[in-house]
Amino acid sequence: MNLKGRSFLTILRDVERGSISPDDVNEYYYRNALALNNTINAYITLIKPQQSSSDGPLRGIGIAVKDNISTRGIRTTCASRMLENYVPPYDATAVERLKNNGGSILGKTNMDEFAMGSSGENSAFGPTRNPINTDYVPGGSSSGSAAAVAAEMAPIALGSDTGGSIRAPASFTGTVGFKPSYGAVSRYGLIAYANSLEVIGVISKTVKDAELLFKMIAGRDLRDSTSFNVDLTSRDVGRPRILVLRSFVRMADERVQKVFYDSISKLERAGFIFDYLDEFREIDYVLSSYYTIACAEASTNLSRYDGIRYGPRLDVAGNWRSYIEAARGFFGSEVKARIMMGTFILSAGYYETYYLKALQIRKEIRAEFERIMKGYDAVYIPTMPVLPWKIGEGIRDPKMAYAADVLTVLPNLTGSPAISIPVGKSGEFFVGGQFIGLRGDDMKIISIASEAENALEVVRHE
């Protein structure tokens, strides 16, 4: 049996018709994962499928889950030696809802440690490799989820997005990456990096696949006070009015810009209406405010990994400071760097100068985004400013890796839904374009992206 190129929806329909069984589907993806994981390194933990007996809509089919999303009885490492042997006693709400719909867990996917990175290189278990060319990065931090879907090692996957961590790897691997509105999916069970920015979302082959899974995991959860009941009614936007932010597009290199503007020409022929805005007033502060807030929140969240509350128990002589320093040696260099930056930002004398100012700028960015969106259905910009780089280049040049987030952090600051789809190719690699909407307009953004996907036909799936 060969399911290559089959969308998740098509597979589910074939299972419902009886032409294939859920066990056949699980065996296909499990065998592919076993065969390819030594090369791609998409999974940290792979689970041998059990015989399916579910009659829920997902029919017992296995879904890949990023390894910072809690899974009861299955180790959840955050790609860190700090949590190498941690096995949660509970499921994240998103996982619980998938199980309630008949889903199962195919495995836990590799990632940048504690979701800190945009390349997939910063994992204690080794870098994830791009299935298109294994010398190159797949994007991060949801690197394993995107690589697994792209390499036919999973039919669909959950990821998380703090500053582009779903959309970046989707762009680099030619998959679809949907980041819901902040609060549209419960964060209960998502191991925290930066609470006010992150959200669980979906990486898939098609927009309709992402929509299916999103509807199952979305909605209010009493265990997450930031969650809300997002409107899940399907939307028909007719001829969508789209605003292109030229100041963001100019940050992309020439190869990305060419593919991006070519996609606009094709979408215009399909009935999309485009207008252009030359300047976004707060553009110079988008990346700096994001990193200030994210590192500050990371410093607070990761303080629990002290070898007493969480982390490895150590036999260390000396005082408690020696113990904690030894325990925190289990963090990788990128995580330690961001903790140090965050601790500095929150320290006496700098809290008002950096952190409070970044929060104020975020308010202004949100207000500016809401202002420019009046009369439009979505904003359209490239997902990543560059094509994938070779493995190791981002570690040697961290400034380059940080700058790669410049086009993806805006929706995290505004709480907006955003979806990346493949809009063309440059050489062997795909270029992603992202549609961004107002918070709560998730279904509108999905509808627009689905229309664009059909019009562009960059990747064809059955």
Q: In a 10 Å sphere around its CB, with 0-12 CB exposed, 13-18 middle and 19+ buried, how is residue 306 labelled? A: middle
Residue 7 and residue 152 in contact, taking contact as beta carbons nearer than 8 Å = no
Bridge partner residues of 65 (DSSP): 108, 158
Rounded Cα gap, residues 62 and 60, in angstroms: 6
DSSP track, 377-444? SEEEEES-SSPPPBTTHHHH-HHHHHHTTTTTSHHHHHT--EEEEEEEEETTEEEEEEEE--TT-HHH
Reading the block at residue 360, the tokens are 């104020």
Reading the block at residue 18, the tokens are 């009886």
In which order are the strands placed within the sheet that holds 273-277?
Answer: 43-46, 104-109, 62-66, 157-161, 199-204, 176-179, 418-426, 429-436, 378-382, 241-245, 273-277
CA 77, 82, 87, 91 torsion-angle sign: negative
Residue 98 and residue 350 in contact, taking contact as beta carbons nearer than 8 Å = no
Q: What is the bridge-based pairing of β-strands 176-179 and 418-426?
A: antiparallel
Neighbour count for residue 101 (Cβ, 10 Å): 17
Reading the block at residue 117, the tokens are 């990175």
DSSP state for residue 221 in the 8-state scheme: B
Which of these, 111, 96, 94, lies nearest to 158 by C-alpha position?
A: 94
Q: Which residues belong to the active site?
A: 66, 141, 165
Helix (H, G, I), strand (E, B), or coil: what is residue 274? strand
Distances (CA, A) of 378 to 10, 172, 439: 28, 22, 11
Amino acid at residue number 180: P
Rounded Cα gap, residues 348 and 353, in angstroms: 10
